[in-house]
Amino acid sequence: EPEVTQTPSHQVTQMGQEVILRCVPISNHLYFYWYRQILGQKVEFLVSFYNNEISEKSEIFDDQFSVERPDGSNFTLKIRSTKLEDSAMYFCASSEYDSNQPQHFGDGTRLSIL
């Protein structure tokens, strides 16, 4: 069964550094998402992406965040200047047609900011 893959599984970064989280969505999916889960808390929406542009973003997704689809397969989340509070599990998800189809999630990248 096709799946969403995320790399790396764990990223440790010094505060203030830039970090790029990578995702390969399911190949025939058109909608892509990033969510964040701070340890022990609920999963929160960051941004959705369709047709090479942002569809919707939450209040969390401020100017330090950006997303990109650099080629036909990868979907990346960049955090420009990481803060301690960016430490979380970051999930990539993709879906067919629109978000009312099930979103299939990757295994997540655990980001630890020191």
Partner 1 sequence: AQKVTQAQTEISVVEKEDVTLDCVYETRDTTYYLFWYKQPPSGELVFLIRRNSFDEQNEISGRYSWNFQKSTSSFNFTITASQVVDSAVYFCALSGPGNTPLVFGKGTRLSVIA
Cα atoms in the 13 Å half-sphere on the side-chain side of 60: 17
Q: Least distance in Å: CB of 31 to partner 1?
A: 6
Sites of contact with partner 1 (CB under 8 A): 31, 33, 35, 41-45, 48, 50, 55-56, 58, 89, 91, 93, 98-108, 110
Q: C-beta of 85: minimal distance to partner 1 in Å? A: 19
HSE-CB for 38 with a 13 A CA cutoff: 9
Shorter beta-carbon distance to partner 1: residue 24 or 43: 43
Least Å distance between CB 7 and partner 1? 14
Q: Output the smallest distance, CB 25 to partner 1, in A.
A: 14
Nearer to partner 1, 39 or 84 (CB): 39
Distance (Å, whole) CA 93 – CA 107: 9
Nearest CB to partner 1, comparing residues 45 and 69: 45
Supply the DSSP string of 30-66, one letter for each residue. Answer: -EEEEEEE-TTS-EEEEEEEETTEEEEE-TT--TTEE
Residue with smaller CB distance to partner 1, 76 or 105: 105
Tell me which residue of 43, 42, 39 sits closest to 85, measured CA to CA.
Answer: 39
